[in-house]
Amino acid sequence: MQAMNLRLLCSIQFQTILLLLVVLLHIKTLSVSGISIATSTYVGGNETDHQALLAFKRQITRDPENVFSSWNDSLHFCKWEGVTCGRKHRRVIVLDLGTKGLVGSLSPYIGNLSFIREIMLANNTIGGKIPDEVGRLFRLQVLWLSNNSFQGEIPANLSHCSNIKILRVGGNNLSGSIPKELASLSKLEFLALRTNNLRGGIPPFIGNFSSLQVLSASYNVFGGHIPDALGQLRSLNLLDLSYNKLSGLIPLSFYNLSSITDLNLSRNNLKGKIPAFIGNLSALQFLYVSYNALEGHIPDTLGQLRSLNLLGLSGNKLSGLIPPSLYNLSSITDFYLYKNKLSGSLPTNLFLTLPHLQWFLIFENQFTGSLPISLSNASELQNFIVYMNNFTGKISVNFGGLHRLEELLIEDNNLGSGDEDEMNFFQSLVNCSSLRKINLSGNQLKGTLPNVLGNLSTQLTYFVIDENLLFGEIPIGMGNLVNLTTLRMSGNKFSGTIPDDITGLQKLQRLYLHSNRLSGRLPITLGNLTSLNELHLGSNKLQGTIPPSIKNCQNLLELYLSQNNLSGIIPRQLFAISSLTIGLDLSQNFFVGSLPFEVGNLVHLGLLDLSENKLSGKIPSSLASCTSLEYLYVEGNLFQGEIPKSLSSLRGIQVMDLSRNNFSSQIPNFLEKLSLKNLNLSFNDFQGEVPTKGVFANASTISLIGNSRLCGGISELKLPRCLTKEEKKIKWPFALKVVISMACVILVITIVSFFLFYWRKNKRNDNSSESSLNQSFLRVSYQMLLKATNGFSLANLIGVGSFGSVYKGILGEDRSIVAIKVLNIQRQGASRSFISECEALKNIRHRNLVKIITCCSSVDFRGNDFRALVYEFMPNGSLENWLHMDLETNIMQVEIRNLTILQRTNIAIDVACALDYLHHHCPMPVVHCDIKPSNILFDCDMIAHVGDFGLAKFLLRPTNSKESSSIGIRGTIGYTPPEYGLGSEVSIKGDVYSYGILLLEMITGKRPINSVFEGGLNLHNYASMALPDGVMEVVDPKLLNNVDEVLGNHNGSLANKIKECLISMVKVGVACSMELPQERWDISKAISELHLVRDIILGARI
């Protein structure tokens, strides 16, 4: 029995070993043949999921981060990057490929992932429609598709995804309305629809989503009223409906939003009053209702919002007092009530009860009373801007503790008490080490400036205190303010001498000390102010001579020294300042001697006023070289001799006053050929016949009184008749004279009639075309523009393009500074093209576009056609200057400094908003075609404006092949999209490409034509390859230097936020400059992303 059992056991063991050998041999065979057991059988897996993932991969056309390198048969699909499977059934439950730079579309096979719970594909460039098959995923809880390029409507059958909690589709190009079928998504907690093109109303059924915590629908085109049903969302934390077209009232049902922390309804068309119940929303931290049409009083109940950090009510029609309860919101940091009709006074303890205020902006209201003394305690305050109100009284604030204060702008009020210690507050300003701007002008401040002025912050660039009642001497020490660019102290009663140390301000561009009581000599070191553009010292009691060192002020545009007691000869060195273009006024002084021959060096000068001095000798013939001269005043001197014949070259002269001198000889005939509007030759010793043409044809434009030996002229002058040589010869019979005269008159009438007939016939079309134009614009003449630009001088030239040149000019009686583009009219039909361009451009208005003011259609002095466009002047130059700081080519003499990351972000947003307007909000879509740094101009507040000097292309507009226009230019090398080089028509995607290159240039500091870009490498690839980890290596070093200064000893968290912002901006630039037009973002998406970046920057106070 035992032997039998032993044999049976041996037999079983043998069979087991044999079976094991067969299995091992089979495995080896499979291994040798290259087949993986895991991938061939997917033990525990599902082939449906496998195929669905492969189909998803096939629809992705670009994978810059090589995400799909692991998506092959060497690994089970559960181990592929971005894929997560369940442990038990090995089915896909999560697909997370957000922020991978993917380009393509979303495969319909995504609907076969029947076990999936989360789809997260945000921050890519996946386009096309959202597949309807997504509606089959009944287990889906998270659908995150934000910041892509999805188009079309939101699929209605998403309603089948009944378990969905998070639906984020913001930052796409979705259109249509919110499908009513989505009402079944009862478990929804997070709904983000921002930055799309969604229309219609906000559906009331959203109010049934009882678990909803976030509803973000800003930057769409939603209209109608806000539904009352939203008030049922008791779990809602954030409601953002800003930047839409919503109207009506704020719903009363919002009373029930007990969990709301962030309520943003700004930039809509809401009206009515701010509901009092908002004060019961105790969790509220951010309240934005700015720029609506809200009116009435601010409800007192807002003072119950103890957690409020930001209150934004600006840009409405609110009136009345600020409720006292608001001053108890101790957590508030940002207080924005500017541009309303609010009144009343500020409580004295305001900044004690609001200790954390950083931004206090209430300008352009009707506030009265004094500035609160508790301002002394605002230790966290950065900006105090209250100008254009009616504040009065003494400034009794101790600013010593305000170390973060940057801007103190309190101009155009009625501050001042007349007390002896009125100006003592300046002592405390010394401790404000971050101070950059002070403006106290247009008040009633009285007293002397303390000697501590020179100890103010060295960061100070702007010090304005004009039009007050200040007296005493200007304190010494101001030379310590080394970054000062503007110093304005005019319109006061300052006495004493001009401190010598002011001439040490190397960056000073504007010095206004006129209309005071200053005496003494001009500083001999005046020439040290080499950056000076504008020097106004008139209406004082200055004595002595003009120092020769003034020749070093080679950037001077205007010099006004009138109404002083200056004496001696006019130094020749003064006329070595070739930059003088606007004006040189030495009138009402005691200068003697002759006018130096070197005056002819001022070839671009527009105004020369030497009146009421004791100058003598002859007018130098070299004055004729001042061909841009428009106003010449030399009255009240001792000049003698004849008017030089060379002055006939002053073709732009408009006013000439030579009265009360000792000029003699005959009045030269060339004066009647000049463009004079007023000529005063009175009280001299002119003799002979007076001309009758030009300015002499109108008695009201000339003055000849006090010249007893003149004769002739027009009858209105009532001068004696001149006896000519002909009259002394044989006289013809009277009858013959009558016959000859009548024949001549008939002949002249006949010739003139024929001329007028043909002239009217040729000009009829032009007149009819230009009539509508003249009704739309302020009329300006060629002579006005010639005057405004100093004869279109090179000194006024600020830009040259393919279709014309742009000049800086001073226009009108108010001396407005403008930019004038003179078109190069050389082709047939250019006149008609000019009219059509003006008709189109006059309807384009946006805060980020350079404004067209008027135009001119005329002829020049040679009889040639003349066409020009007049634009608003941008005083802070172009982005080209600021990015590359080429000071030698800085024509406009703008102070250039490094742009901070916040400034660059703001500029990027400004330019993008301008393009968004041109592309989507004009009556006819406009393609700019030449977006580049030199076309981005800055106003005085550094707001970016896109220059539109006739270089745009109007889409959907019929083209006349016979017409030629400056519209339709293809752009500039480096910024022009590649498809234009292949003959494609211009499109808004072309502008987006140029914008992307511009943005990358702003971040990297490299021009697209930089020498490093060769062998297939360009700026786009250069930036793309750096994403994300290498971005800091390609960022502009000047920007990094600026960031390092800001960081100081801050912790790494701030540094990470800055890096995150830079990475996001580079991604926007790369996404906008894709090679294929269809892969580029829409400009509105770029705006959305950049707003997020700016929010991070502002949140971190970078």
How far apart CA 352 and CA 373 sit, in angstroms, is: 10
- Pair of tokens at residue 1035: 């960022």
Which residues are 216's β-sheet partners? 192, 240
How far apart CA 401 and CA 208 sit, in angstroms, is: 52
Residue 342 · residue 317 · CB < 8 Å:
no
930 is known as an active-site residue: yes
How far apart CA 739 and CA 745 sit, in angstroms, is: 10
Contacts of 57 (CB under 8 A, 6+ apart): 68, 71
For tokens 């010095």, what's the residue?
Answer: 511
Tell me which residue of 883, 882, 878 sits closest to 1005, measured CA to CA.
Answer: 883
Q: 650: left (phi > 0), else alpha (psi -120 to 50), else beta?
A: beta
For 27, the enclosing helix (H) or strand (E) is helix 2-32
Q: Per DSSP, which regions of 346-499 are E strands?
A: 359-361, 366-368, 383-385, 392-393, 407-409, 414-415, 437-439, 446-448, 462-464, 469-473, 486-488, 493-496
**Side chain identity at residue 130, one-letter code:** I
Contacts of 626 (CB under 8 A, 6+ apart): 599, 600, 602, 603, 605, 608, 650
Catalytic option among 334, 930, 948, 1082: 930
- Pair of tokens at residue 250: 């704020």
How far apart CA 406 and CA 432 sit, in angstroms, is: 8
CA end-to-end span of the chain: 93
For tokens 């028509």, what's the residue?
Answer: 985
For tokens 């950056």, what's the residue?
Answer: 531
Confirm whether residue 821 is marked as ligand binding: yes
How far apart CA 631 and CA 951 sit, in angstroms, is: 35
Q: Which long-range contacts (C-beta less than 8 Å, at least 24 apart) are formed by 1042-1050?
A: 1042/898, 1042/899, 1042/900, 1042/901, 1043/901, 1043/1102, 1046/900, 1046/1102
For 650, the enclosing helix (H) or strand (E) is none
Q: Which long-range contacts (C-beta less than 8 Å, at least 24 apart) are formed by 74-83?
A: 74/36, 74/39, 75/39, 76/38, 76/39, 76/42, 76/45, 77/42, 77/45, 77/49, 77/50, 77/53, 78/45, 80/53, 83/53
State the Rg of the chain over Cα. Answer: 38
Total residue count of the chain as it appears in this document: 1102
Label residue 161 exposed, middle or buried (CB < 10 Å: 0-12, 13-18, 19+): buried
How far apart CA 1022 and CA 1006 sit, in angstroms, is: 10
How far apart CA 950 and CA 836 sit, in angstroms, is: 11
Strand order across the beta sheet in which 293-296 lies: 223-225, 245-248, 269-272, 293-296, 317-320, 341-345, 366-368
Contacts of 769 (CB under 8 A, 6+ apart): 831, 832, 835
Q: 1035: left (phi > 0), else alpha (psi -120 to 50), else beta?
A: beta
Which residues are 505's β-sheet partners? none
Q: How far apart, in Å, are the Cα atoms of 130 and each of 107, 122, 452, 509, 1051?
A: 9, 13, 67, 58, 42
How many C-beta atoms surround the C-beta of residue 53 within 10 A? 23
For tokens 């930036």, what's the residue?
Answer: 1023
- Pair of tokens at residue 680: 């005063």
Binding-site annotation: residue ranges: 821
Catalytically active residues, by annotation: 930
Binding-site annotation: residue ranges for ATP: 821
